[in-house]
Structure 1
Amino acid sequence: MKDFINTLYKNHALIYKVLLFICATILIVYLFPKQGKFKYNFEQGKPWQSENLYAPFDFAIKKTTEEVDAEKQTIENQSNLYFSLNTSVVNNVRINYKATFNEVFSDSIPDETFSRLFKTGELIIDKLYNNGVLNENYTFSNDKKCIILDGQTTVKQAQFIDLVQQKDLSSIINSILTENNHIDYQTEFLALFFDVVEPSLTFNKSLTDKALQEDLNKIAYTRGSIEKETLIISKGEVVEGEKYQTLESLKNEYKSQVWSASNYNWIVFAHTLLVALALLMLLLFLRKYRIEVFENNTKVTFIFFNIILMVLITTLVISYNSQYIYVIPICILPLVLKAFFDARLGMFTHVITVLLLGSIVPNSYEYMFLQIIAGIVTILTVSELYKRANLFVSVGQITLIYIIAYFAFFVIHEGSFDALEWETFGLFILCGLATLFVQPLIYAYEKLFGLVSDVSLLELSDTNSKLLKELSNKAPGTFHHSLNVANLAEASANEIGANAMLVRVGALYHDIGKMKNPTFFTENQSTGINPHDELSSIESAKVIIDHVINGIEIARKNNLPDRIVDFIRTHHGTSVVYYFYKKEKALNDDIDIEDFRYPGPKPFSKETAILMMCDSVEAASKSLKEPTSSKIDAFVENIINKQMENEQFLNANITFKEIQSIKKVLKHKLANIYHLRIEYPE
């Protein structure tokens, strides 16, 4: 059991990667839409490019959305309105009419006229309540069919125009008064009936809506059917009309039938294989070409997290409305990865992510082409992300590439640009604006994952920072030496294509450990007093060697990133403090060279190797007396060749050609520092 636990502990990093790989695969497959994908691509009005297509199973031809909407509109127009009748209202109105009539019309009116006026009022009541008076004004169409109910019993049917609304009272009263030559009594009748008329009809909305919904539910969404093995379309035949609708019906039916209960597990398994294969390729790439990233579980987690995030955002947008997929700023992914790692890793991860998304987005070929091209442009154009102008220019170029590629695809599909969808260009512009969010995202990632980007390096390179100011005050000679090394290292890095900003910052901080005992280092000895005169060679060597350990402690205390601490740890590698070693050797042959050796490790990247070369050359160049071009050339060659002989660059991925280029830069820079000129003949 103990051996098993020890084995797990030794392989915990690999076990973590396996678990991360499995979890990422499961999560991505879970996020994928659970529907089938039709294996044929077709467009309305274009020829069928595949072989003759026969129906793989029986299916019904679905009506178009326009056809269904038209049927719904017809049913809504022809639907009935239901009104509830209050039968007691008419009797109440007649009783109130008799009681009020005598109050309104005076006794001075002749009996015959009085009688005729009373009968005219009864005619008005009959007219108003023939179909009924509505309780309020409605805006239904006049030809709408109305069903009048007494409880659950249908009393009569009428058109909506036959029902009396409140606003129609005056016109109906006036028309009957005119017919019976009583218009002179208009004012009295209007006052009378506005007091006694009561609504007898109430709109029954629930019953009306229920009846409408029942009719809508009867709509058939299919028309006709296709039997299995029936020829649907031949190769070269134009996809239009009935053919197009049949293909759309097959496509929709295919999605529902493929993702049936019996096939579901198999299809999920197939998706899992594809996703696992893509993620495995990414891990193999990291193991083959980016071993330092592969061995860092935090960095691997960071890469997988970004892939899953892009899949999540894309699936959410597709589930909402797939036409907005081009708003998603996929190019943020290569930007972020390039900021923290390098362009090649960023591009490879971007392609893997786009391939994953290609299986769930519509028009997958167009989508993948656009996103891969945009990713390439992103990698090629964004060279220094910490420069804001560069980011804005690159975003503009990315947006332009999107627009050009989309325009080309549209013309290929449609044959012209008359029906060009200009709204899509707006989506690309929104995508470009969203890409600018990469700056705050990088800052958040730095805090969350403890990574370092070029933006942070730019902040650390400020010589007015607290730590560098402290270095300039306590050890001014060391600070000046660090500035010179930074300039040499930056020029060397630019020459061989290394990360110039990283190596510059590493050079600025590589000797901060000398702040603890600044006077023990010759560049800070301004008084002529050398403290080493009072120490033994071993003690002196220990003080010199300890500046590496002290530097690491100061860096940790000031929260410097690990990538910068690496420069402090490796800038002397496992070299020997040769001066004190030779001094002790002259006094005592029986000494251990390990007492004079730096603890290391050796440089393990191009940048840390560059710093070791530049630091040694710059420090030793102070001992040159009457320097000439030939002396400088021999001096640089001697120092760097000695480091190579001591295998200090064995772990760094730097080539002989690159080392030669660095030597050339150092020779040129030192010649400029000492203001050497060509010796002209006398």
Structure 2
Amino acid sequence: MKNYLKSFYKHQDLLYKLLLVVASAVLIVYTLPKSGKFQYDIQKGFPWSYNNLYADDDFAILKSESSIEEEKKAVRDNAILYFTYDEEKVNTTVSKVKDEIASISNDSTLKNLGSDKSELEKFTTDLLNTIYEFGVIDQAYSFNEERLIYLQKGNKASQITLSQLRTTAQVSKFLENEIVTSPYAPLKGKLLKVLYENIKTNVSFNSDLTEAAIKDGLSKISPTRGVVAKGSRIVARGEIVEGETLLKLLSLKSQYESQDFSESTYNWILLGYIFLVMLALVMLVLFIKTYRFEVYMNNTKITFIFFNVVLMVLLTTLIVKLKPEYVYVVPLCILPLILKAFFDARLGLFTHVITILLLGFIVPDSFEYFFLQVIAGIVTILTVPELYKRANLFISVGQITLVYIIAYFAFHAIHEGSVDNLKWENFAMFGLAGLGTLFVQPLIYVYERIFGLVSDVSLLELSDTNTKLLKQLADDAPGTFHHSLNVANLCEAAANEIGANAMLVRVGALYHDIGKMTNPTDFTENQATGVNSHEDLSPQESARIIVDHVINGIEIARKNKLPDRVIDFIRTHHGTSTVYYFYMKAKEVDDDVKQEDFSYPGPLPFSKETAILMMADSVEAASKSLKNPTSTLIDAFVEKIVKKQMDEGQFLNANITFKEIQQIKKVLKRKLNNIYHLRIEYPE
């Protein structure tokens, strides 16, 4: 049992990563569609790259979306419209007109015409009967006038054409013509007044019955046409996938993915998904272990990376389930941006590709999706060199959107052979995806608080010399502050030369000596009075004070909640080097003195940035001892200091090459020559 626990503790990091991979895989697979995956990739407009494909069984050919839409349009255009006839309104109108005609019958004009009340009533009643034969509607409908409609009167429905219904405008014209051409033309004004005031619309469009009829017609549309017989060839190798061939392949795919699987088959599909997803995630872990070992050894950072991968997969899966056509709205380019902000571009791009591979299981047109997202990810990585500069992010948004549009346009041209049917709403989605990338800034802030990471945005804030800690350093140890500024400038120039993180190394340089605030006058750069406190101390005590500024710096940094990436510079800027002056002074008294008593605790620099700081810090500090600096002298002492560090093995853990060290030395020489305003000495 004891050995078992010992083995467990020894491999707990590995077990945690394994558990993380399994948990992520299960969560991702849980959201994936559980239907079988069609084994062939169907690419419209491309040659069939597989062997000849034959039908194993009979299957129906699905109609194309455009064909079904045409049939639906035909149903809507040809559906019989239903109108309701209100007889009560007609009876009310006839009754009111008869009552008001009575007043006109006493008019002398009617007597002069040789007519009486009954004849006038009969004339108006005939007019009303003609008008209300099929009814009056309140507006002209946009349907074809000869379109058949059903006019419902009570429990009976008669079939007529739409043109047989009269609008109020048509009624007015009809009445005027009939009265003018009748014997009652002299009474035109009075008759029209009575009729206009009483004639009401009595036919209304019955939308419920009409929609029911349309739905019934739509339900009768068959989604299939024809059958592919068993054993017949579906597509030949090299044949262009389009037209009828495309419909057959899509029909075969739909039939395969919609079939009901047995429990055994379902379990095998599930197991296959788990293996594939775990394989992709394991590849991500192996990449991190091989190329970003410091990230691999930090479980928080590994968890952070997997969290973002799973989050993007879940978000995309949700969109695909709700609205598959909106899949490009998901701002997937946030992922490489975030990982680049916290780690580097290479890790960000690789993780982005792995995530897209996982999404290939669920998105429609997986090849097109993969191509567009990979290109967009590359553009994102290349166009945002410094995330803390807001202009770079806006430029990246424009370029991401442009790449999406160009790639979509190209794929559409290949698939359709024209650009007539471009879906312009997709361009809006690409724009939204680009704008969604702007959300990376607040997201970085949230991640810093949750996972305790630090990005270039936070580094920019820390580089401000007006921060509380740096102002305190300037007040308590002005010489050290000035030294830190000089070192920061040297480090930034060297980092830019070899492609390291210039912002990170600058911040590390600004804070690397904050431990000297504990005893500022024990360091020569702060001894303004010329009094050296070490003259009254033993070499061992002096060495301890000098070495302790690293320990004190770490304590001050943690108290002020500086990020671990910045604290790493405080811990490593002297590596395991020796306080050589006091060591040699102690040897003058006791030759048996131990060198480790005069050495820094380490650790050694473990990155390009921490190695740069070690070189720049030593060179800048040593340059203050040069009494009459010349270009030749500066070049020689830079070479001497860096060589000594290399001989001591201070850079063995840093991923820095000899070529990069040579470039750094060149920068340090040039910058120091500029500081001391020296010219290169030419031979006479």
TM-score of the aligned structures, taking structure 2 as reference length: 0.83
Aligned equivalents of 2:61 and 2:387: distance in 1? 54
Structure 1 distance, partners of 2:15, 2:410, is: 47
Which region of structure 1 is more displaced relative to structure 2, 105-114 or 51-60? 105-114
In the TM superposition, residue 566 of structure 1 has moved relative to its aligned partner by: 0.9
Aligned-residue identity in percent: 57
Q: Is the 8 A contact 1:174 1:183 kept in 2?
A: no
2: distance between equivalents of 1:409 and 1:98? 73
**Counterpart pick for 1:224 among 223, 226, 229:** 226
Q: Which runs of 5+ in 2 are unaligned?
A: none
2:524 aligned with 1:533, yes or no?
no
Look up the SS of the partner of 1:224 in the other structure.
strand
What secondary structure does 1:527 align onto? coil
Structure 2 residue 91 is matched with structure 1 residue 106: no
Shift of 1:529: 1.7
SS at match of 2:234: strand
Q: How far apart, in 2, do the equivalents of 1:535 and 1:150 lie?
A: 118
Residues 48, 239 of structure 2: 8 Å contact kept: yes
Moved more, 54-63 or 254-263: 254-263
Alpha carbons of structure 1 residues 468 and 83: separation in structure 2 relative to 1, 3 Å = closer
The Cα of 1:520 is off from its aligned counterpart by 0.9
Asked whether the equivalents of residues 105 and 116 of structure 2 are also in contact (C-alpha less than 8 Å), the reply is no
Question: In the alignment, residue 22 of structure 2 is paired with which amino acid?
Answer: I
| 1:548/1:568 contact within 8 Å kept | yes
Distance (whole Å) between structure 2 residues aligned to residue 200 and residue 415 of structure 1: 53
CA–CA separation in structure 2 for the residues paired with 1:642 and 1:594: 17
Partner of 1:286: 288
- Paired with 1:93 and 1:529, the residues of 2 have a C-alpha distance of 119
1:61 is paired with a residue whose SS is: strand
1:336-359 per-position Cα deviation (integer Å, ceiling 9, x unaligned): 323322232223223222323344
Going from structure 1 to structure 2, the CA distance change for 1:566 and 1:176 (only over 3 Å counts) comes to: same
Q: Deviations along 1:575-597, whole A, 9 cap, x unmatched?
A: 44344444455556786665544
The residue aligned with 2:130 is 127
Equivalence for 2:524: 522
The aligned amino acid for 2:545 is V
- Tell me the alpha carbon deviations over residues 411-457 of structure 1, each in whole angstroms, 9 at most, x when there is no partner: 66667889888887776666555545545544444344332233433
State whether residues 606 and 654 of structure 1, in contact with CA within 8 Å, keep that contact through their aligned partners in structure 2.
Answer: yes
AA of the residue aligned to 2:126:
L
Find 2:451's aligned residue among 438, 442, 449.
449
Matched, 1:143 2:146: yes
Partner of 1:213: 215
* 5+ residue gaps, structure 1: none
CA deviations on 1:457-500 (whole Å, 9 max, x unpaired) are: 33433334443333223222212322333344344444544333
What amino acid is the match of 1:143? E
Q: Distance in 1 between matches of 2:456 and 2:356?
A: 26
Which residue of 2 is the match for residue 115 of structure 1? 118
TM-score, normalised by the number of residues in structure 1: 0.84
Whole-angstrom distance in 2 between the partners of 1:422 and 1:172: 49
Secondary structure of residue in 2 paired with 1:498 = coil
Structure 1 residue 511: Cα displacement: 0.8
CA distance in 1, matches of 2:417, 2:70: 31
Amino acid paired to 2:518: K
Matches for 1:489-528 after TM superposition, within 5 Å: 489-528=491-530
Alpha-carbon separation, structure 1, partners of 2:413 and 2:216: 46
How big is the shift at 1:85?
Answer: 5.3
SS of equivalent residue, structure 1 residue 60:
strand
CA distance in 2, matches of 1:120, 1:550: 115
2:571 equivalent to 1:569: yes
User: Do structure 1's residue 181 and structure 2's residue 183 form an aligned pair?
Assistant: yes
Question: Contact between 1:120 and 1:176, CA under 8 Å: does it hold in 2?
Answer: no
User: Is the 8 Å Cα contact of residues 93 and 198 (structure 1) preserved in structure 2?
Assistant: yes
**1:12-411 equivalences in 2 (<5 Å):** 12-32=12-32, 38-41=38-41, 48-84=48-84, 98-106=98-106, 109-110=110-111, 113-131=116-134, 133-134=135-136, 136-137=138-139, 139=141, 141-149=144-152, 151=154, 153-154=155-156, 156-163=158-165, 166-174=168-176, 177=179, 181-194=183-196, 203-237=205-239, 239=241, 241-257=243-259, 263-316=265-318, 318-319=320-321, 329-380=331-382, 382-387=384-389
Matched with 2:544 is 542
The SS at the match of 1:651 is coil
Contact 2:101 2:120 in 1 (8 A): no
The question of whether the paired residues in 1 share the 8 Å contact of 2:137 and 2:165 is answered with: no
Q: Identify which range, 111-120 or 278-287, moves more after superposition.
A: 111-120
In the TM superposition, what is the alpha-carbon distance from 1:138 to its structure 2 partner? 6.1
> Aligned-pair distance for 1:292?
0.8
